Structure 1
Amino acid sequence: MASLPNGAAAAGGPSGAPVVDKEVDFANYFCTYAYLYHQKEMLCDRVRMDAYHSAVFRNAHHFRDKVVLDVGTGSGILAIWSAQAGARKVYAVEATNMAEHARELARANGVTDIVEVIQGTVEDIELPEKVDVIISEWMGYFLLRESMFDSVICARDRWLKPDGVMYPSHARMWLAPIRTGLGDKKMEDLDVAMDDWGQFVEETQVYYGVNMNVLSKAYRAEHEKFYLKSSIWNNLHPNQVIGQAAVIKEMDCLTATVDEIREIRAQVMLPISLDGARLAALAGWFDVHFRGSKQNPANEEVFLLTPSLKVSKGDSVNVSFSMVRSKENHRLMDMEFTYELHEFSGKQHPAITTKMYLE
């Protein structure tokens, strides 16, 4: 997945509660995708590109002589592939000024008679006809970060024919218990940050006569959130997985609703398969499916468990999971894990709850 912009600014409402500045949120989110360097990052993702390319051209009968809507076309490559696969018409919708680059690319590839680039959001644009196919690369970190699927659902409900198809058509979210040294590294980083703060407090007292120590607790809480309670983008090696993975959410893109993805909650059992390992984190990833194609495995998200647990083969970990849109910025997600170790011997450990922020 691509790197993403910071969250929207929040301001105090009449009751003092934070409210989302939607204009700032819109600007922060879309500005990143208006740059070619960011589009290049996504286009260099071979797993992503190969999956979509295979899905389109191995299922050309879904595109031949059909009308296609590409939601969030970006550089326009999915629209171009759709045209090359035989589409009669492709509406390529893009909210940012990247739309002009998409038009240039369509011209350079000889498909302007088929691909029509429309600058705007799918919530606001109008099309002259219903479409047979909606294609979009909408997936964010751990599938749902960015909330772009909301726009795909809107496009589907407005423009897709009753017998139309979605690319991708299905998606799943996974969790697995893993071992990793990332937690120790992040604790070290936190200790370094607090040592630096301590030196700052001391120097401010000496040189400026102001005692800053009253802010130490808040400073530590701020850095604990950053180092220990924010998910980590990390490549996962199979030998790090110490137990059975579980699906925590399955979605049919033809029928999924915004309400269905506003909050994700699940309870799963994760049997441990390795003796003497330490459960240090939960790995989260997703896969998506295209009609008639193999599943597209995607990247993983790592959620540190503090404290980590020593686990053995035959043990099980009960995990309760929730993911709710942030009140401050609806494109971000607040998560909570409650994990409980059940040893093979029958001993049951107290449940531990940790909050995570999908940044």
Structure 2
Amino acid sequence: MQSGGDYSNGFHGELDRVEEKQLPGLSSFGRAKRRSTRGGAHDPRGGLTNGFMVSDQLGEQNPLETQKSPPPCTDFDVAYFHSYAHVGIHEEMIKDRARTETYKEAIMQHQSFIQGKVVVDVGCGTGILSIFCAQAGAKRVYAVDASDIAVQANEVVKANGLSDKVIVLHGRVEDVEIDEEVDVIISEWMGYMLLYESMLGSVITARDRWLKPGGLILPSHATLYMAPVSHPDRYSHSIDFWRNVYGIDMSAMMQLAKQCAFEEPSVESISGENVLTWPEVVKHIDCQTVKIQELDSVIASYKFKSMMRAPMHGFGFWFDVEFSEPASSPAKTTSATSVASGSSSMTMSPSREGNQKKRSNPSDALVLSTSPEAPPTHWQQTIVYLYDPVDVEQDQVIEGSVTLSQSKENRRFMNIHLEYSSAGRSFVKESVMR
């Protein structure tokens, strides 16, 4: 789904493009360590490599309707799954209290949907969310992971005496077999800038293969935001440093330094003070209805008005995910409080009605936010830096469009195409998140 309808920001016009020149072959400077996705098969043939078989534990059951052939597991996928076998990635995610405690609270808040029901955990990692679901009374939890971390997850399940409830499946969601419908899908699928890693596709596949009509998906919704940012300290640290190095004029290094520092998106933490305008929605996702094809290319137009006079150094991106019941479920009788509140001015734009339609009842939803004003998470924020800052005045309009598309080189990577115009000058910035 492209950024139209309720989520359109209303910019329709050709930009007089001035391309930002790039030097070939240089990677980004100081790039944060990337996460990689857990939803696909370590064995390229899609076999269950550790023999955690489903049918042996479920008895006689009728298999669901045969699905079309799954997409092949590429060498990039194999490398990606292998990266999730490292314990450090899982340690970082589990120690992210905003992330982990929000998921635990969401499971307990929706205990009535989970108790006595069948759950699938897509990309289970160490199995912690599967165990939370078992503790909430799930009848059975299928913990699916393509990475070799599934071996450790199985041991964790055994150590907690939950082998009768939690069944670890080592393989891609696209390849493993579950011979029954499930009531709940839970997954921590979000990558940097929400869509990096392309793991949402595995959640959609699980939904289409196994979820009962009216079943619960946690999280239920996701929204990606963007806004212009000013970050003079970062620019000074990376670029202006070269003007005078121990008394030596090394400004000849500045163009190369810009390329190295700002060619690729940067994952880092900023504060609300760095944000020049109200944010706008790039993409809103309803996990019950989103189609895989919608994620191939996401296009959004934007039109910002600067709240201050400052140099604009780039565009910041962050996201919220919401944990709410299916639309057909009975109304909630109690309200939940977000562990990582996303209800600040950074997450909702008051100037655009369409940006506010993503929640039927915002005060009722449990939200995990990666906004600059929310408690910090390991996702931080993603900044697409310009090679040279653009000076903007208070109330100056900044408008353009952004296109996020899966890389043809590797679908786990994301191409970013930014067009922006301000004060009569128009530019294009292209980068790849890899």
Instruction: Report TM bin, short chain.
Output: 0.7 to 0.9
Post-superposition offset of 1:318: 0.5
Residue number in structure 1 paired with 2:313? 280
Structure having greater relative contact order (Cα 8 Å, sep ≥ 6): 2
State whether residues 400 and 420 of structure 2, in contact with CA within 8 Å, keep that contact through their aligned partners in structure 1.
yes
Q: How does 1:100-111 map to 2 (within 5 A)?
A: 100-111=151-162
2:328 aligned partner? none
**Consecutive unaligned residues in structure 2, runs of 5 or more:** 1-31, 38-71, 245-249, 325-363, 371-379
Mapping of residues 255-266 of structure 1, within 5 Å: 255-266=289-300
Residue 333 (structure 1) aligns with: 414
Displacement of 1:4: 2.9
SS in 2 for 1:317: strand
Is the alpha carbon distance of 1:313 and 1:320 closer, same or farther for their aligned partners in structure 2, counting shifts above 3 Å?
A: same
Deviation at 1:191, TM superposition (A): 8.8
Look up the equivalent residue of 1:353 and give its one-letter code: V
TM-score when scaled to structure 1? 0.82
Question: Distance in 2 between the 1:190 and 1:148 partners?
Answer: 40
Moved >6 Å (runs of 4+): 189-192
Pick one of 155, 164, 169 that aligns with 1:118. 169
Q: Do 1:172 and 1:287's aligned partners in 2 also have CA atoms closer than 8 Å?
A: yes
Unaligned runs of 5+ in 1: 7-20, 193-197, 199-219, 342-347
- RMSD of aligned residue pairs (Cα, Å): 2.6
2:117 to 44, 66, 74: 66
Residues 324 and 39 of structure 1: is their aligned pair in 2 closer, same or farther, counting only changes over 3 Å?
same
Aligned length: 314
What is the match of residue 345 of structure 1?
none
Instruction: Give the TM-score taking structure 2 as reference length.
Output: 0.68
Distance of 1:106 and 1:227 partners within structure 2 = 43
Q: SS of the residue aligned with 2:238?
A: helix
Report the Cα distance in structure 2 between the residues aligned to 1:191 and 1:92, rounded to whole angstroms: 54
Structure 1 CA distance, aligned partners of 2:273 and 2:210?
A: 45
Q: Counterparts of 1:1-359 in structure 2 under 5 Å? A: 3-4=34-35, 23-181=74-232, 182-187=234-239, 226-274=260-308, 276-291=309-324, 293-298=365-370, 299-341=380-422, 348-359=423-434
1:19-48 CA distance string (max 9 Å, x none): xx9642022201111122221111111111
- Greater helix proportion: 1
Residues 96-145 of structure 1 deviation map (CA, whole Å, 9 limit, x = unaligned): 22112111111222221111111111100110200000000111110111
Contact kept in structure 2, 1:183 and 1:304, CA below 8 Å: no
Q: Does the aligned pair in 2 maintain the 1:186–1:228 contact within 8 Å? A: no
The SS at the match of 2:207 is: helix
Deviations 1:188-209 (A, max 9, x none): 58999xxxxx9xxxxxxxxxxx
